[in-house]
A = this chain, B = another copy of it.
Amino acid sequence: MRAEIISVGTELLLGHTINTDAAHVGRALSALGMDLLQVHTVGDNAGRLEAALREALNCADVVITTGGLGPTDDDMTKETVARVLGAPLEEHKDSLRRLREYFGSRPIAANQLKQAWLPRGSTAFPNRAGTAPGCAVPGKPGQWVILLPGPPSELLPMLEDSVMPFLQRMGGAVIASFMVRTFGIGEGSAALRIADLTEGANPTVAPYASDAEMFVRVTAKAENAEAAEALAKPVVDAVRGRLGDVVYGVNVSGLEAVVVEQLRQHRRSLAIAESCTGGLLAKRITDQPGASEVFGYGLITYANEAKTRLLGVPEEQLACYGAVSPQVARSMAVGVRERYGADYGLGITGVAGPGGGTEEKPVGLVYVALSCSNAIWLRVLRPQGRYLGREWTRRLASSHALDMLRRHMAGSACGGRMGGRAAAGLSFSAA
């Protein structure tokens, strides 16, 4: 099955919006074993959209458009597809009902109502997060044009709920796809360890890097789900074996999901003290539904006074070593655990930048401490000459905190053990 994506939106050409939709759809197509030939990005321009559409219809079995389904005049994807395929727009009853439900007692303007009109013969895809439904419009026999909304918050659920099942039915074969997720190994090293596994055609094995993590996707294709899984499973196990304890899960959504699940299973609780991450670690923990079972207290002690008052970090320690120090990270982790009665305490302090760095404490330097009833562990993230920005530094620091707790609960080494007043810790590159 050959696919093409046409992304529609002048904001994409002007660079105001980055085309993440194409990456999301590309990933979905690749997970289904479909060949994406190309992505064509055009502005809100019916003529150019029409030309791209006609060209794509010549080569592809599935043409997926993103954007241009909204209520405004420059939203013209549906009209253009209707014209090119000779499938005039018709009122779609179910979409109209959903639109009326969405607006409730509020009045609906005519431009809003046009969203409930779909090309004749369409299969509608409901929009969980907005007003414009998506749809699949038949082209030549066996060919479909799939129209998706532009905002990622609308496109993503639709892709998962409706489009992937629709494409899977089209393709005949069933795909089993496993994502082996790791933290703490580079793409290059991981690729070397699994090099021979990536040569197979079914299952396919593909490594890729994302956001300081490294994933390996194993995808098998077969007549039914059981057969596809049976093909994939031994290869998934082989990948896990090669990569070792940097693997934190398979088909999990992230480190935070694994940590919350471990805490729940062990009936343990976590308290968090954050400085430079400013709530990001607590946010990632509470992204997980049901986090309240294992998490009750998160303190963002951005000010030094807050560290002393809420966590009991000694003023002398702040004065002597500074807020960004292994000693303060340790006091934060111990303080939040002991004061708020949790089984584990995590403390993070660092220089997120871009300002505030010194020669001794450069931007990107972060200390992460984990405290449990009988030990304290430390990691030091050092920028090593390359500072990758505030967002990266904060994200990486919160991932290291989660990884320390994950490894500790799994019985793996999780950092440098801190003695009485010692400041030693395992060092990691922060770039």
Contacts and interface: CB of A to CB of B under 8 A. Distances in A.
A206 B13 CA distance: 13
A187 interface: yes
Interface residues of A, number: 113
A224 to B, nearest CB: 19
Given A16-B179, A18-B23, A290 B151 contact: no
A93 B211 CA distance: 27
A209 to B, nearest CB: 6
Given A211-B151, A279-B286, A354-B289, A23 B27 contact: no
A283 interface: yes
B112 A188 contact: yes
A91 interface: no
Contacts of A42: 37-38
A391 B289 CA distance: 10
Interface string A275-288: 00111111101110
A319 B43 CA distance: 56
A291 interface: yes
Given A19-B22, A188-B111, A70 B298 contact: no
A310 B301 CA distance: 13
Nearest to A24: B15
Contacts of A219: 14
Contact of A390 (B112, B128, B177, B289): B289
Contacts of A28: 15
A358 interface: no
Copies in the complex: 2
Contact of A279 (B39, B209, B283): B283
Interface string A108-142: 01011000000000000000111100000000000
A387 to B, nearest CB: 9
A97 to B, nearest CB: 12
A354 to B, nearest CB: 6
Contacts of A431: 102
A166 interface: no
Contact of A109 (B9, B16, B189): B189
A302 interface: yes
Contact of A11 (B208, B211, B280): B208
A301 to B, nearest CB: 7
